[in-house]
Amino acid sequence: MEASMERQWWIERALMLVALSAVGSLALITLFIFSEGLPVLAKAGLSNFLLSSHWAPTKGHFGIFAMIVSSVLATLGALAIGVPLGLACAVVLAEFATPTMRLILKPAVELLAGIPSVVYGFLGVVLLVPLIRDWLGGPGLSLLAVALILGVMILPTIISISIDALRAVPRTYREASLAVGATQWQTIWRVVLPAARSGVVTAIILAMGRAIGETMAVIMVAGNALRLPHSPLDSVRTLTSNIALELGYASGDHRAALFATGLVLFAVILVLNAAASLLRRQR
Protein backbone atom coordinates (compact mmCIF):
# COMPACT_ATOMS: atom_id res chain seq x y z
CA MET A 1 0.00 0.00 0.00
CA GLU A 2 2.75 2.44 0.95
CA ALA A 3 4.70 1.55 -2.22
CA SER A 4 1.61 2.25 -4.33
CA MET A 5 1.06 5.64 -2.65
CA GLU A 6 4.72 6.55 -3.11
CA ARG A 7 4.54 5.62 -6.80
CA GLN A 8 1.41 7.75 -7.18
CA TRP A 9 3.19 10.67 -5.49
CA TRP A 10 6.10 10.45 -7.93
CA ILE A 11 3.74 10.22 -10.91
CA GLU A 12 1.84 13.31 -9.75
CA ARG A 13 5.08 15.26 -9.32
CA ALA A 14 6.33 14.16 -12.75
CA LEU A 15 3.10 15.25 -14.42
CA MET A 16 3.20 18.56 -12.55
CA LEU A 17 6.76 19.10 -13.77
CA VAL A 18 5.71 18.48 -17.36
CA ALA A 19 2.82 20.93 -17.00
CA LEU A 20 5.09 23.57 -15.46
CA SER A 21 7.64 23.09 -18.24
CA ALA A 22 4.97 23.91 -20.82
CA VAL A 23 3.92 27.02 -18.89
CA GLY A 24 7.56 27.99 -18.40
CA SER A 25 8.27 27.66 -22.12
CA LEU A 26 5.33 29.93 -22.91
CA ALA A 27 6.52 32.43 -20.30
CA LEU A 28 10.04 32.48 -21.78
CA ILE A 29 8.69 33.02 -25.31
CA THR A 30 6.47 35.83 -24.05
CA LEU A 31 9.34 37.47 -22.18
CA PHE A 32 11.62 37.21 -25.21
CA ILE A 33 9.07 38.78 -27.58
CA PHE A 34 8.35 41.61 -25.15
CA SER A 35 12.02 42.32 -24.47
CA GLU A 36 12.80 42.46 -28.20
CA GLY A 37 9.73 44.38 -29.33
CA LEU A 38 9.01 46.93 -26.60
CA PRO A 39 12.09 49.14 -27.17
CA VAL A 40 11.13 50.00 -30.74
CA LEU A 41 7.53 50.64 -29.64
CA ALA A 42 8.84 53.13 -27.09
CA LYS A 43 11.09 54.71 -29.69
CA ALA A 44 8.56 55.01 -32.51
CA GLY A 45 5.49 55.55 -30.35
CA LEU A 46 2.56 53.16 -30.13
CA SER A 47 0.22 55.37 -32.16
CA ASN A 48 2.74 55.85 -34.97
CA PHE A 49 3.51 52.14 -35.02
CA LEU A 50 -0.13 51.05 -35.19
CA LEU A 51 -1.74 53.90 -37.15
CA SER A 52 0.87 54.79 -39.75
CA SER A 53 1.17 52.96 -43.09
CA HIS A 54 4.73 54.16 -43.78
CA TRP A 55 6.91 51.07 -43.45
CA ALA A 56 10.54 51.94 -44.25
CA PRO A 57 12.49 50.43 -41.34
CA THR A 58 15.92 51.25 -42.76
CA LYS A 59 14.89 54.94 -42.66
CA GLY A 60 13.32 54.78 -39.22
CA HIS A 61 9.65 54.52 -40.26
CA PHE A 62 7.76 51.68 -38.58
CA GLY A 63 4.09 51.92 -39.55
CA ILE A 64 2.15 48.66 -39.78
CA PHE A 65 -1.40 49.98 -40.25
CA ALA A 66 -1.64 48.77 -43.86
CA MET A 67 -0.56 45.30 -42.78
CA ILE A 68 -3.06 45.29 -39.91
CA VAL A 69 -5.87 46.22 -42.30
CA SER A 70 -4.75 43.56 -44.78
CA SER A 71 -4.64 40.90 -42.05
CA VAL A 72 -8.08 41.87 -40.76
CA LEU A 73 -9.65 41.92 -44.23
CA ALA A 74 -8.07 38.60 -45.17
CA THR A 75 -9.34 37.03 -41.94
CA LEU A 76 -12.85 38.44 -42.38
CA GLY A 77 -12.91 37.23 -45.98
CA ALA A 78 -11.80 33.77 -44.87
CA LEU A 79 -14.54 33.69 -42.23
CA ALA A 80 -17.14 34.82 -44.77
CA ILE A 81 -16.19 31.83 -46.91
CA GLY A 82 -15.32 29.24 -44.27
CA VAL A 83 -18.02 29.76 -41.64
CA PRO A 84 -21.11 29.10 -43.83
CA LEU A 85 -19.46 26.14 -45.57
CA GLY A 86 -18.01 24.71 -42.36
CA LEU A 87 -21.20 25.10 -40.34
CA ALA A 88 -23.32 23.61 -43.14
CA CYS A 89 -20.97 20.64 -43.38
CA ALA A 90 -21.04 20.19 -39.59
CA VAL A 91 -24.85 20.20 -39.56
CA VAL A 92 -24.98 17.61 -42.33
CA LEU A 93 -22.48 15.32 -40.63
CA ALA A 94 -24.00 15.72 -37.15
CA GLU A 95 -27.71 15.66 -37.98
CA PHE A 96 -28.34 14.10 -41.40
CA ALA A 97 -25.45 11.76 -42.22
CA THR A 98 -25.66 8.04 -41.59
CA PRO A 99 -23.09 6.53 -39.19
CA THR A 100 -21.22 5.02 -42.15
CA MET A 101 -21.12 8.32 -44.00
CA ARG A 102 -19.98 10.13 -40.86
CA LEU A 103 -17.27 7.52 -40.29
CA ILE A 104 -15.88 8.21 -43.77
CA LEU A 105 -16.39 11.95 -44.16
CA LYS A 106 -15.35 13.22 -40.71
CA PRO A 107 -11.79 11.79 -40.88
CA ALA A 108 -11.55 13.00 -44.47
CA VAL A 109 -12.40 16.54 -43.38
CA GLU A 110 -9.97 16.37 -40.45
CA LEU A 111 -7.28 15.19 -42.86
CA LEU A 112 -7.40 18.66 -44.43
CA ALA A 113 -5.81 20.02 -41.24
CA GLY A 114 -2.78 17.81 -41.82
CA ILE A 115 -2.01 19.15 -45.29
CA PRO A 116 1.03 21.50 -45.13
CA SER A 117 0.19 25.14 -45.72
CA VAL A 118 2.77 25.32 -48.51
CA VAL A 119 0.65 22.81 -50.46
CA TYR A 120 -2.37 25.09 -50.15
CA GLY A 121 -0.19 27.98 -51.32
CA PHE A 122 1.11 25.97 -54.27
CA LEU A 123 -2.42 25.05 -55.35
CA GLY A 124 -3.41 28.69 -54.98
CA VAL A 125 -0.56 29.88 -57.19
CA VAL A 126 -1.12 27.22 -59.85
CA LEU A 127 -4.93 27.11 -59.97
CA LEU A 128 -6.56 30.01 -58.13
CA VAL A 129 -4.35 32.96 -59.05
CA PRO A 130 -4.60 32.42 -62.84
CA LEU A 131 -8.40 32.09 -62.57
CA ILE A 132 -8.69 35.38 -60.69
CA ARG A 133 -6.33 37.12 -63.13
CA ASP A 134 -8.13 35.82 -66.23
CA TRP A 135 -11.73 36.24 -65.06
CA LEU A 136 -11.66 39.20 -62.69
CA GLY A 137 -8.52 41.11 -63.67
CA GLY A 138 -5.66 42.42 -61.64
CA PRO A 139 -2.43 40.58 -60.91
CA GLY A 140 -4.21 37.53 -59.47
CA LEU A 141 -1.97 37.63 -56.40
CA SER A 142 -4.52 39.43 -54.28
CA LEU A 143 -6.58 39.80 -51.13
CA LEU A 144 -9.29 37.67 -52.74
CA ALA A 145 -6.85 34.80 -53.32
CA VAL A 146 -5.72 35.01 -49.69
CA ALA A 147 -9.31 34.96 -48.40
CA LEU A 148 -10.21 31.93 -50.55
CA ILE A 149 -7.15 29.95 -49.50
CA LEU A 150 -7.61 30.77 -45.82
CA GLY A 151 -11.33 30.00 -46.08
CA VAL A 152 -10.47 26.45 -47.12
CA MET A 153 -7.71 26.11 -44.52
CA ILE A 154 -10.00 26.97 -41.59
CA LEU A 155 -12.70 24.48 -42.59
CA PRO A 156 -11.34 21.54 -40.52
CA THR A 157 -11.28 23.67 -37.35
CA ILE A 158 -14.84 24.90 -37.81
CA ILE A 159 -16.26 21.55 -38.88
CA SER A 160 -14.64 19.38 -36.20
CA ILE A 161 -15.45 21.61 -33.23
CA SER A 162 -18.96 22.39 -34.51
CA ILE A 163 -19.76 18.69 -34.93
CA ASP A 164 -18.70 18.04 -31.33
CA ALA A 165 -20.81 20.97 -30.15
CA LEU A 166 -23.89 19.83 -32.08
CA ARG A 167 -23.62 16.22 -30.94
CA ALA A 168 -23.23 17.39 -27.33
CA VAL A 169 -26.77 18.80 -27.40
CA PRO A 170 -28.99 16.33 -25.47
CA ARG A 171 -31.21 14.13 -27.63
CA THR A 172 -34.21 15.09 -25.48
CA TYR A 173 -34.06 18.61 -26.98
CA ARG A 174 -34.60 17.18 -30.46
CA GLU A 175 -37.30 14.76 -29.34
CA ALA A 176 -39.23 17.50 -27.51
CA SER A 177 -39.13 19.75 -30.56
CA LEU A 178 -40.25 17.00 -32.92
CA ALA A 179 -43.01 16.01 -30.46
CA VAL A 180 -44.67 19.43 -30.73
CA GLY A 181 -44.77 19.25 -34.54
CA ALA A 182 -41.54 20.93 -35.63
CA THR A 183 -39.80 19.62 -38.71
CA GLN A 184 -36.23 18.32 -38.53
CA TRP A 185 -34.87 21.52 -40.07
CA GLN A 186 -36.90 23.71 -37.69
CA THR A 187 -35.53 21.64 -34.81
CA ILE A 188 -31.97 22.16 -35.99
CA TRP A 189 -32.40 25.88 -36.66
CA ARG A 190 -34.48 26.80 -33.62
CA VAL A 191 -33.30 24.32 -30.99
CA VAL A 192 -30.03 22.53 -31.74
CA LEU A 193 -27.98 25.42 -33.12
CA PRO A 194 -28.95 27.86 -30.31
CA ALA A 195 -28.11 25.16 -27.73
CA ALA A 196 -24.71 24.60 -29.37
CA ARG A 197 -24.06 28.32 -29.89
CA SER A 198 -21.11 28.63 -27.50
CA GLY A 199 -19.30 25.69 -29.10
CA VAL A 200 -19.91 27.01 -32.60
CA VAL A 201 -18.69 30.48 -31.65
CA THR A 202 -15.62 28.90 -30.07
CA ALA A 203 -14.94 27.12 -33.37
CA ILE A 204 -15.21 30.41 -35.26
CA ILE A 205 -12.87 32.21 -32.86
CA LEU A 206 -10.25 29.47 -33.09
CA ALA A 207 -10.58 29.49 -36.88
CA MET A 208 -10.06 33.25 -36.79
CA GLY A 209 -6.83 32.75 -34.87
CA ARG A 210 -5.75 30.10 -37.38
CA ALA A 211 -6.43 32.45 -40.29
CA ILE A 212 -4.74 35.53 -38.87
CA GLY A 213 -1.64 33.53 -37.94
CA GLU A 214 -1.14 31.76 -41.28
CA THR A 215 2.09 32.64 -43.10
CA MET A 216 3.39 30.45 -45.91
CA ALA A 217 0.24 30.10 -47.99
CA VAL A 218 -0.44 33.82 -47.60
CA ILE A 219 3.05 34.77 -48.79
CA MET A 220 2.59 32.69 -51.93
CA VAL A 221 -0.75 34.17 -53.06
CA ALA A 222 -0.91 37.69 -51.55
CA GLY A 223 1.49 39.59 -53.82
CA ASN A 224 3.05 41.20 -50.71
CA ALA A 225 2.55 44.83 -51.71
CA LEU A 226 3.06 47.36 -48.90
CA ARG A 227 -0.10 49.41 -49.33
CA LEU A 228 -3.66 49.72 -48.13
CA PRO A 229 -5.98 47.52 -50.20
CA HIS A 230 -8.83 49.34 -51.97
CA SER A 231 -10.20 46.29 -53.78
CA PRO A 232 -10.28 42.51 -53.24
CA LEU A 233 -8.10 42.28 -56.35
CA ASP A 234 -5.28 44.36 -54.86
CA SER A 235 -2.06 42.75 -53.68
CA VAL A 236 -1.55 42.92 -49.91
CA ARG A 237 0.98 42.12 -47.21
CA THR A 238 -0.17 40.73 -43.88
CA LEU A 239 1.57 40.95 -40.52
CA THR A 240 2.77 37.36 -40.59
CA SER A 241 4.06 37.51 -44.16
CA ASN A 242 5.96 40.72 -43.40
CA ILE A 243 7.78 39.03 -40.52
CA ALA A 244 8.62 35.96 -42.59
CA LEU A 245 9.81 37.97 -45.59
CA GLU A 246 12.07 40.42 -43.76
CA LEU A 247 13.37 38.71 -40.62
CA GLY A 248 16.08 36.86 -42.53
CA TYR A 249 18.02 40.04 -43.33
CA ALA A 250 16.74 42.50 -40.70
CA SER A 251 19.01 43.94 -38.02
CA GLY A 252 18.92 46.63 -35.34
CA ASP A 253 15.66 48.58 -35.11
CA HIS A 254 14.35 46.82 -38.21
CA ARG A 255 14.61 43.46 -36.46
CA ALA A 256 13.10 44.92 -33.28
CA ALA A 257 10.17 46.30 -35.31
CA LEU A 258 9.46 42.82 -36.65
CA PHE A 259 9.42 41.50 -33.09
CA ALA A 260 7.03 44.32 -32.19
CA THR A 261 4.83 43.18 -35.08
CA GLY A 262 4.93 39.71 -33.56
CA LEU A 263 3.93 41.28 -30.25
CA VAL A 264 0.80 42.70 -31.89
CA LEU A 265 -0.02 39.28 -33.32
CA PHE A 266 0.65 37.68 -29.94
CA ALA A 267 -1.80 40.06 -28.27
CA VAL A 268 -4.49 39.38 -30.89
CA ILE A 269 -4.15 35.60 -30.61
CA LEU A 270 -4.12 35.83 -26.81
CA VAL A 271 -7.39 37.78 -26.82
CA LEU A 272 -9.01 35.32 -29.24
CA ASN A 273 -7.95 32.28 -27.19
CA ALA A 274 -9.14 33.92 -23.98
CA ALA A 275 -12.52 34.60 -25.59
CA ALA A 276 -12.74 30.98 -26.74
CA SER A 277 -11.93 29.74 -23.23
CA LEU A 278 -14.62 31.94 -21.69
CA LEU A 279 -17.18 30.67 -24.16
CA ARG A 280 -16.27 27.05 -23.38
CA ARG A 281 -16.92 27.67 -19.68
CA GLN A 282 -20.39 29.03 -20.49
CA ARG A 283 -21.49 25.81 -22.19
Does 144 fall in a domain? yes
Q: Which residues contact 158 (CB under 8 A, 6 or more apart)?
A: 82, 83, 86, 87, 90, 203, 204, 207
Can you give the residue range of the structural domain that contains 154?
Answer: 55-281
Does 27 fall in a domain? no
Cα distance between residue 110 and residue 226, in whole Å: 35
How many Cβ atoms are within 10 Å of 52's Cβ, its own excluded? Answer: 16
pLDDT at position 261:
94
Q: How large is the average pLDDT for residues 159-185? A: 92
Cα distance between residue 151 and residue 3, in whole Å: 55
How many Cβ atoms are within 10 Å of 87's Cβ, its own excluded? Answer: 18
Q: Which residues contact 281 (CB under 8 A, 6 or more apart)?
A: none
Least confident of 5-9, 29-33, 105-109, 168-172: 5-9
pLDDT at position 1:
58
Does 127 fall in a domain? yes
- Report the CATH number that the domain containing residue 137 is assigned in CATH: 1.10.3720.10
Distances (CA, A) of 1 to 15, 161, 167: 21, 43, 42
The total number of structural domains that make up the chain: 1
Burial tier of 260 (Cβ tally within 10 Å: 0-12, 13-18, 19+): buried
Does 110 fall in a domain? yes
What is the rounded average pLDDT for all residues in the chain? 90
Does 66 fall in a domain? yes
Q: What is the pLDDT of residues 202-231, one digit of tens each?
A: 899 889 999 999 999 999 999 999 999 999
